[in-house]
Each structure stands twice: as structure tokens, then as C-alpha cells.
Chains A and B, each alone.
Chain A
């Protein structure tokens, strides 16, 4: 039901306005929490990912971490299904390293995306 709602919204919205605050606010927090739910589900058994997330939030990178913004950036991919969401995440993780968008957690070099992903959990 919610998926249909999002698809309807996305099809109706002009290109470029998909992520506008006003339009998303109209949908309320549900889409973002859906994304978060999927991510939580994928890492349901991963205490380690949660540990990394906690360390990221405590560190310098975590100070400016905006969970809402991060989840919102995943909405377009999520709207095409969990497989597409996963594909987007993995692509971003690899690309982050190529673009030097990385962070260190305990000395381990992680992609910004995967650190934020862990921080969401």
C-alpha cells in the first residue's frame, strides 16, 4: 500500500522536485521509516555494523550526520524495490572510495555511505 503511494507520488511529481522538502513532508515520515526498516532488516543480526555505527556517531564524522538527509537520498532507489536500494548502496560504497569520500573508524577506512548506513541501524 505504502509502496503504491510512493510510486504514485513519484510518477506525479515533476522531475527535480522529487526530493523537495515540501513534497516529502506531505508524505510524512513513513517513507523514510520504511527505508530505515529495510536497512534494519538487512542488518538484523549485525551487532558489528551497529557497533561501527555507534563509533561513527561518536566520532567527528558523526557530529554532522543527518540521518533524515541520508535516508531521503535513498528514497528514489527504494521506490524501485529493495533490490534496487541494495544496488544503490553497494554502488555508492564503491564509488565513495574512488571519490575519496571516506572516513576512519578505529583506523579502518570505510566509505562515507557505509559508515552512515551503520549509523542508521
Chain B
């Protein structure tokens, strides 16, 4: 059922079995997984059912690092959270993404891909996807127009799958939530404080408030913080009544290691050898027509050899060069003419004879020029972080201050990936690649300010790593079961627990982790 904050008596203390803070993909998944007769589950959602500017204003914050989307828009404060704006890009993390890699500082998960596979299967059902199978033979079956490029070299095609329209967790599960006898969704219910007992080892209750001034409390056996990668650390840092540095922050890790997926659009050009044969798989529009998109990615071997991160590129018909634009810029028409002539060479040998017979010349095949977009993993960096601002929101909670920071390895990964894709295209005779990113980046672990050809680098609205997972409390905020170190009944759900980010979009993995956490709670705390 749904209850508005205004319907609750002021200062009332509700008592439930499970209190989930946040009604997004992770929170709603956990609520539905834990649903059981006789069990009481509260989902505290700060916003309402639709977008409201007054609610959204609570998410406003500062940006003091690499330019980023306004925080007022980055965390959607309404039921369904950021699934209200996602595009359903789904792909599991690769095996290597879970490994400790000696060239990637702070890498390594306490679980591996095999541990998560059973939960990926269930997450696929939650997100209404096809089976958990990313083989080309399965996803591309019957789609003859989507061909995988026969690339030689150390790059390969990896696939995303989509469900269109994307699952909007507020909308799609609404009737289940409405009719549930176990789950109550409290709307316009913002958690302003998570209160620990005197020992700091147990959470006794959460303080809830609405913009209209309503106030109440919720006690529970177990609490799950599921408010997203920016709001999760914000709430923990602001909850400093007992642990003065913030909950779970005894080792100054809460908020650190903020990771995005750096996106660099329209840096790099591909000239396809033959436009007629060029596959549409790598065009991101393929998500709408076919529910599949392909990315060209570094193999594990290349990542190890070159000591780079994971990443991907997609290719869309260029918007920078057209029949009406100046094609001589960037040698685009030069390359076009050259490649046409190169492709025609075998025909030229016959042409002289043909001319005698037919007088006709082989027509030049049209070229296809494609813009390169890169989406990649980010190096875990403790200096990239969410802090508290000096300003407070309308409920008296310090706002978030996002300092997104990148390092040289992030830049080197992009340029190395581009060079290897360029070589693969040439070796496979599918086209030529124009490198448009400068290589004057700093050392791998040195701070990198993306300027010049990297200006315009942006995120993917993915907020990861700020309550990272590690068995050692000196290296992580939560343990392998997503329980906050040192606190018995507080767990975290969502992409803030990721120790590394992969290049794959986070929603599928965070839903899988949410299902896993639910199973853990069922077997331990909620027996």
C-alpha cells in the first residue's frame, strides 16, 4: 500500500521488520523479494509518484571537480528513482571486472562473477530482459541485419540488451506494491538522520521528514540504505549523532571512490570501407529497432598487456560531416576518395579490358562516416568523492558536494582502446579510423584534468563506489554481504557498493546484488 507522510501522526514511531530507505530499482527489488505474509516492510521514498520540483530541490548540491550534470537532476527523487530516466542498457560485468588487477589500484571484489551469476538470472526477470545469455548466437538469432564485424586484433564485440520501454520501477510495480499486504511505501518521506544507539553498533531508528513539515520515525530489525550513489554517502555522512565522522566512516571511506563511466562522444571518426555492408549493430539507435547494441571492447588480453581498464566504443553516423558541411575538414573527403579507390583496385585491373567492351567505369561506392563514442570504466580514486556541502537543504540536511576526479589511466585507456580499434579496422579491411584524442596525459595515477580534445567528457548518470565493498573495514564501507562494517543491522544496496565500475551500465548488476542481499537477509536476519 501507499501512505503519504502527511497521513502519519507527528513524531509517531513506526515499527517494522525491514526499513528500506529509497524507492528506486534496488529498494523496490528488495521489498518485493522480501515480501512475505506476516512480514512488515517499509519503503521510505523522499518524493512522490511523479516528478516535483520542490522534492527534486532537495537533491541540489555542489560540483567542485570535473564538470558534471547538475545534482538537482542527477538523483531522481520520486518513486522508481533514476529508473524514471534510464534507457535500459543492460550487460553484466565481465570476469576481469571483479578481479584484483595490479595495474588498477583498489581493484578486486570480495565476490566474483560466478558468485553473482545466479542473481543475474533473476535480475533479468526483474528487468524483463531475455535470458541471461550474451552470446552473439543467442542475442542475434534471426537478426540477419545485425552483423558482428569480423575484427582481427585484440578487440572484440560485446553486446548490451534492452527492454523497451525500460522498466520504470515506480510505474511497473505499482500495482504489486499497492496490493501487497507486507509492503508499505511511504511517499514524501525523506530520511534526515539514521540514528545509531550509544554503542554505534546498531541502528535504532531513522528520522523522517517531509517538505511540508511532517515528521515521524521508523524502527526496524534491519535497515537497508538504497538511495543511490550520491545520496547514500550523503545520508551516512550527515548521520553523525553518535559516530561523529558519519555512520560507517571510521576509516574515512564513505563518499570516496566516486566512479562514473566517462563518456566521450564524437571524438574519433571511422570511415567504413563499404557503406552497403556496414552493420548497424554498433549504432546506438539499434536499441530501439532491435533491442541490442554492440560495443567494440578491449579483450582481457589487451587489458592485461597494456594495463588498461575496460571500455567500449559505439559508432553512429556522423553529425559532424554531411553533404552540406565542409568535407575537406579533417581529411574526410580525402580518406573517402582514397578508400573508394583502394576498394576499386581489383576492378581496375579488369577495367581496361571492360572499357574496350562496355565503355563503362565502376561506380564509386558511397562512404559511410561514423562518429566514435567511448564509454569506459573509471579508475577507483579515493580523491574522487562525495562530501557534505556547507549548505543545507530545506530539511536541514547538508547538501552533497561532488568532486568527480579522473587520473591518467582513465585517459590512457581511451587512447589505447582507440589505437587498437584503429588497427583492428585496418587489419580486417573494414575501414580506417581517425584518432582525435591527444596523448599528452599524465602518469596513470596522477590527477588528470580533461581539457583540449577531452573537453566535454561526461558521465552516464551512473553513481558508483561511494560505499564500496571490501572484507577489510580499512578498505571498504560494506562487507561482502553489503553490511556496513561495525554496524549490525544496516546494509547498503545499489551501485554505491561497487568497488570497480566496469564499462557496463550499473542497473543490471545492482539489481542482481539487491536480489542477493535479499536472499542473505532472508537466511540470516529475518529468519
Contacts and interface: CB of A to CB of B under 8 A. Distances in A.
Interface string B325-360: 000001101111110011001101100000000000
Contacts of B330: 106-107
Contacts of A100: 423
A51 B331 CA distance: 9
Contact of A83 (B349, B423, B425, B428): B349
B334 A94 contact: no
A38 to B, nearest CB: 10
Nearest to A49: B338
B211 to A, nearest CB: 52
B174 interface: no
Nearest to B419: A109
B473 interface: no
B338 A93 contact: no
Contacts of A90: 345
B333 A48 contact: yes
A51 B335 CA distance: 10
B432 A109 contact: yes
A13 to B, nearest CB: 27
B461 interface: no
Nearest to A47: B337
Interface stretch (A1-9, A21-29, A64-72, A110-118): A110-118
A94 B349 contact: no
Interface string A25-62: 00000000000000000110111110110010000000
A104 B341 CA distance: 19
A19 interface: no
B427 A97 contact: yes
Given A42-B348, A49-B338, A106-B331, A96 B432 contact: no
Give 8 nearest A-B pairs by CB, closest first: A48-B337, A97-B426, A97-B427, A109-B422, A106-B331, A46-B341, A48-B338, A48-B334
9 contacts: A49-B341, A83-B349, A94-B426, A95-B427, A102-B422, A106-B434, A107-B330, A111-B426, A114-B342
